[in-house]
Amino acid sequence: MDLNFENVINAVIAIVIGVGALIIYFFGSNWLLDNIFRDVVREDGHVEKSRESIREAIRPWLFVGPAIILLGLYLVYPAIQTVILSFFDENGNEFVGLRNYQWAINDGEFRQAVTNNILWLVIVPAASTAIGLLVAVLADRVRWGNIAKSLVFTPMAISFVGASVIWKFVYDYRGPNNPQIGVLNGIVQALGGEPQAWITITPFLNSFLLMIILIWIQTGFAMVVLSAALRGVPEETLEAARIDGANEIRIFFNIMVPQIMGTILVVWTTITITVLKVFDIVLAMTNGQWDTEVLANYMYDWMFRGGGDFGRGSAIASVIMIAVIPILIWNVRRFQQEEAMR
Amino acid sequence: MKKYLSLLVVALLLLAVMPASAQDLIFEVGEGDFSWDSYQEFADAYDFSGQEVEIFGPWIGEDQELVESVIAYFEDATGATVNYAGSDSFEQQIIIDVEAGSPPNIAIFPQPGLAANVAADGGLVSLGDETRQWVLDNYAAGQSWVDLGTYANAEGEDDFYGFFYKVDLKSIVWYVPDNFTDAGYEVPETMEDLIALSEQIVADGGTPWCIGLGSGDATGWPATDWVEDLMLRLYPPETYDAWVTNELAFNSPEVVDAIETFGMFSKNDEWVNGGAAAAASTDFRDAPAGLFTVPPQCYLHRQASFITSFFPEDVELGTDVDFFYFPSYAEKDLGNPVLGAGTLWAITEDSDVARGFLEFLKTPISNEIWMAQSGFLSPHTGVNLDTYANDTLRGQGEILLNATTFRFDGSDLMPGAIGAGAFWTAMVDFVSGADAQEVADQVQAAWDAISE
């Protein structure tokens, strides 16, 4: 009990010191800048402009600088270090060239993880975006649409591990003579079928069942963003199409979808990046067993389990990083194009 | 700003007035069945007034309270101050501390493998021949404990570093005595009897075993315990030792034999509650529940001593549920091997008071204090078994003391990628349908891949 209390006090002290330091930095650095490059007033009372332009050139860096330093320290440096480590042995001491990558290519489980990751990448973003779009379009047309939207959105608030625990119960299996506590097997049994140990069914079925969890979580995100985009479709164009005699399905595919294509792609790629990092669900549900391994989980396995192998862990991490880069570049390009259009 | 400052002052004041956590002695000196003379003797022999010792271990929460209840007696006897720090990421932290040159005086390792790594880096201090001899003389299966605590140092020479204190027992089978009485079954004395009993239960229309291998991100480990236990019953301990170091290849006939024997129990739909598919996917914490249903879904459950924490709440140990030693084959004549795990204490930063603390761990009283509470078994032959908190613990303590061989959980001794990875996966694949040779080859391939 008093241990918790101590923690709370420590947290309070940390916050006070942290916020205080920031305030001091902010005012202090600006004060320094203003004093070092003080305006030079000529004898005729005219203020020289050059000093001011120096000040204004430096000032943004006072704001952005700490963030850049922190990003460099916590993001860029580890990323570079990871790539470097991937060329070293398990302790990070001896340079081994491409041996870790060579190992990965020849490793059956790594190839399995790559295959599964590709499956995840194809299915989850597509399904989440499609279902999200469907809900966004349809929910606006019914009276209880908002309730439906809230329900679809709720899983977003649940952590991945929490969601896994919930779905563990959905897929739970007990022997055929025992009462089933899993929803899925409950249904199967009520329909007269044999209960199944779902998460052990290979090939692929168990991976699909794990994907459903992520789809369940991500659909809410897709729905909210797409719903907002749909509001942006001008009512007049829809009206015009209706007057021209287009049915609802044509309106959806020929007017709504093209108008919000940019948003759909952003949602799609955002979910794609989430999927590339998928880890918690697999760890909590199967830990990659029964052929459900994915890259992030496999990396964790090599990096941290039982002493760990920095080289191989880093090599797998680098592969994931390389896979994310094209999607990121594409996303940034699109964003810049849209900015330019404005 | 003023407001923040006053908050800070208040916080600092609160810190200052908070009481230091001085712990009272949980059992009064001189009362009960404890070996108080060993305590008195120790207190007379050592005086560390004003000195401090830092201990770092894996125990937090309830276990931390338990270990501190023992430490309190050391402090009381010697006047020393002991600072115990626990962490649930002990494994990572101790490496960092040693590498950074700021180790605690004593570290409590949950696995010999980790201690061996630290010893190889020159991070451990030898406990000396005297302590080594003491363990040989005073622990049941003493040689096993000495071997488990002996590692190569930075120069590659073997020395004795690890002192075992607090042991878990794995070789036990749980059963419900009432169910046995109702059905007219008897506790088997030999492995042959156990197999015959399983067949008998099937013949009577029941299901003998509850097996659950599920354990979240560690799914598969309960199966490794089975295979290790069977390995010790099928082959001499030397085979086991060669197996955990891979001197004996993982896909050797002996290992395949042990895996197949496990398959006899686990891959037989008639022998396992819910069938083999249920064994692989049932959580190990849920598995024993089948013992307690009416009618019972199973009669037997092989699991370590800690499983009692996952029994239904109203189950009373000793009456509603009991256990017996997972028996050895009568025809093999390999004695009574026991599989278990435990924590070993090693000195990471030498000092007189740290040495004194290890002397304290040799006293019966330091074991009895924890034995009288919960979750503690000791291979120390000098302790008074009457001090165990209940008959269940006492019975488990007796199994430890009767052991002719003690072997540490093999998967904990193997490299992490095998013992906490490939071996688990292989067992899951095996129970899900693959054959023993296939999965053994798979593990050996993984072992070859790490030792490249």
C-beta separation of B91 from B71 below 8 A: no
pLDDT for B321:
92
Over the stretch B90-135, which tens digit does the pLDDT of each residue have? 887 888 888 888 999 999 998 888 898 889 888 999 999 999 999 9
SS3 category, B337: strand
CA quadruple B269, B275, B280, B282: dihedral positive or negative? Answer: negative
Q: Which residues pair with B158 in a beta bridge?
A: B152
For residue A307, give the chain B residue with the closest CA: B416
CB contact under 8 A, A12 and B275: no
pLDDT of residue A178: 74
- What is the rounded distance in angstroms from the CA atom of residue B137 to the CA atom of residue A55? 80
Q: In terms of CA atoms, which chain B residue is nearest residue A280?
A: B217
How far apart CA A302 and CA A314 sit, in angstroms, is 9
User: Could you give the CA distance from residue B283 to residue B267 in angstroms, rounded to a whole number?
Assistant: 17
Q: How many angstroms separate the Cα of B131 from the Cα of each of B118, B142, B361, B394?
A: 20, 12, 11, 26
Angle at A216 between CA A215 and CA A218, to 5 degrees: 60
The CATH label, of 1.10.10.60, 1.10.3720.10, 3.30.450.40, 3.30.465.10, for the domain at A101-341 is 1.10.3720.10
Q: What integer pLDDT is reported at residue B1 of this predicted model?
A: 47
Q: What is the model's pLDDT at position B231?
A: 96
- Residue A189 to residue B22: CA distance in whole angstroms: 59
Q: Does A200 touch chain B (CB under 8 A)?
A: yes
Both tokens assigned to A203: 């090939």
Which of B11, B19, B219 is facing A9, going by the closest CB pair?
B11
Mutate which of A200, A282, A309 to test chain B, going by most B C-beta atoms within 10 A? Answer: A200
Q: How far apart are CA B25 and CA B75, in angstroms?
A: 10
| Cβ atoms within 10 Å, residue B274 | 26
3-class secondary-structure state, position A220? helix
Closest-approach residue (CA) in chain B for A171? B281
Q: B172-338+412-451 has which CATH code?
A: 3.40.190.10
Domain pair B49-169+340-408 / B172-338+412-451, same fold: yes
pTM of the model: 0.79
What are the extents of the domains in chain B?
Answer: 49-169+340-408, 172-338+412-451
Task: Say yes or no: A286 contacts chain B, CB-CB below 8 A.
Answer: yes
| Helix (H/G/I), strand (E/B), else coil: A309 | coil
Tens digit of pLDDT per residue, chain A (342 long)? 455 777 889 899 999 999 999 899 989 988 888 888 887 777 777 777 778 888 888 888 888 988 999 999 999 999 999 999 999 988 778 899 999 999 999 888 899 999 999 999 999 999 999 999 999 999 888 888 889 999 999 999 999 999 999 999 999 888 777 778 889 998 998 898 888 888 888 778 989 999 999 999 999 999 999 999 998 888 888 889 889 888 888 988 988 999 899 899 989 999 998 998 899 999 888 888 888 899 999 998 888 776 678 899 999 999 999 988 888 888 888 878 877 776
User: Which of the following CATH numbers is that of domain B49-169+340-408: 3.90.1200.10, 3.40.190.10, 3.40.50.2300, 3.30.1360.30?
Assistant: 3.40.190.10
Grouping H, G, I as helix, E, B as strand and the rest as coil, residue B202 is helix
CA pair distance A291, A285, nearest whole angstrom: 12
8 Å CB contact between A271 and A124: yes
- Rounded alpha-carbon distances, angstroms, from residue A118 to A54, A286, A312, A323, B193: 51, 18, 21, 11, 52
> Which helix H or strand E contains A316, and what residues bound it?
helix A310-341
Question: Shortest CA distance to B108 belongs to which of B145, B69, B67, B78?
Answer: B67
Q: Which amino acid is at A30?
A: N
B262: which residues sit within 8 A by CB, 6+ positions away?
B223, B226, B227, B230, B430
Q: Quote the longest CA-to-CA distance of chain B.
A: 82
Average pLDDT, chain B: 89
Given an 8 Å threshold on Cβ–Cβ distance, is A306 in contact with B273? Answer: no
- Would the CB atoms of B274 and A20 count as touching at under 8 Å? no
Å between A81 CA and nearest CA of chain B? 19
Residue (of B216, B222, B331) closest to B272 by Cα position: B222
Q: What is the ipTM of this complex?
A: 0.72
The token duo for B240 is: 């086991």
- Looking at residue B345, its amino acid is W
> CA–CA separation, B206 vs A298, rounded Å?
41
Q: Say if CB A194 and CB A105 are below 8 A apart.
A: no
Which chain B residues are within 8 Å of A290, Cβ to Cβ? 428, 432
Tell me if B368 sits within 8 A of B387, measured CB to CB: yes
> Quick one: CA dihedral A260, A261, A265, A266, positive or negative?
negative
Whether A122 contacts chain B with CB within 8 A? no
- Picking from B94, B96, B215, B281 by the largest number of A CB atoms within 10 A of its own CB, the best residue to mutate is B281
B4 to chain A: which residues are within 8 Å by CB? 16, 19-20
Query: CA-CA distance, A246 to A231, in Å (whole number)?
Result: 20
Touching B: A residues 287-316, CB under 8 Å:
287-290, 301-302, 305-309
Domain ranges of chain A: 5-86, 101-341
The three-state secondary structure class of B57 is strand
- DSSP string of B217-283, one letter each residue: GGTTHHHHHHHHHHHHHHS-HHHHHHHHTTSS-TTSHHHHHHHHHHHHHHS-TTTBTTHHHHHHHSB
What pLDDT was estimated at residue A246? 85
The answer to whether the Cβ–Cβ distance between B416 and A177 falls below 8 Å is no
Q: How much is the pLDDT for B296?
A: 92
Residue A194 DSSP label: P
